[in-house]
Amino acid sequence: MAYVRKTETLVSEILQKVREMSRKAQEPYSGKTLTDDSAEYNAIRNCIEDVSWKDAPQLKQQMPKDWLDGLKSKNIDLKIIAPESCPDSADVSIHLEQPNDGYFTLSPAHAAAGQGYYSGTRGKMELHEADFPPVLMAWFKGGKSNESLKKSIEHKFNKVENQLRSFMQQHASLNTAIKEMPEIEHYVPTAYIEKLHAVSPPRGKTAPRPEKTTVEELGIDRDALTSAAVAHQIASS
């Protein structure tokens, strides 16, 4: 087995591989889960005008018809803010449309927010927890949205990256790092592993480098390292 010295390049490539594995593990969840045929989407579509006018509901009734016609939007760029009661959730952005070439009549603030040369008659809003229809709140609490799953995977790999960075700071070679924590091999680029396992020419005996044990001291979650690597392997298969 050859000796592979720890360098800044080696550490950088290990951390880069962690980020690449994170992106790969998130790929299966890149699609939006609030589709236009879902109950949640329909519930949002049915309540969004009331939400838009909630600060001045009487204004909609008092406006002349030609003014209201100027506030019509064919669609809405809607950002749904993840509820604080669901800390593992993530914000969700959807493109809301009315069926059968219908229109949304939005308040001036929301109808004007999306107006522009390229946007045409497009509204722009945010939807917050206080205005969620019950079915949407239940959807968030279920924690099954792609956005939530991606956030969970990203958090897992961010933790792996931080722990590996701290762990490698305590070692002078890849040899001792892998000897102390074999799980790290999941995250080492192939070229370094091949170099490590290459037959090295005989050399004079040297005193072993004193290196302290760091897995327990740094509180590294070895199970998390393995499970993150498995998540990447599943996504790659």
Tens digit of pLDDT at every position of the chain (237 positions): 889 999 999 999 999 999 999 999 988 887 767 888 899 999 999 999 999 999 999 998 899 988 888 898 889 999 999 999 888 788 899 999 988 878 999 999 998 766 554 445 789 999 999 999 999 999 988 876 777 788 889 999 999 999 999 999 999 999 999 999 999 999 999 999 999 988 766 665 555 554 555 666 667 777 777 777 766 666 666
Residue 90, token pair as written in the block: 């993530």
SS3 content of the chain, % helix, strand, coil (to 5): 55, 10, 35
pLDDT at 127: 97
pLDDT at 110: 92
DSSP state of 181: -
In angstroms, rounded to a whole number, what is the distance separating the alpha carbons of residues 46 and 221?
46
- For residue 159, with 0-12 CB atoms within 10 Å meaning exposed, 13-18 middle and 19 or more buried, which class applies? middle
Q: How many CB atoms lie within 10 A of CB 77?
A: 17
Phi then psi for residue 173, to 5 deg, are -145, 155
In angstroms, rounded to a whole number, what is the distance separating the alpha carbons of residues 103 and 90?
28
Cβ atoms of 55 and 103 closer than 8 Å? no
pLDDT at 116: 52
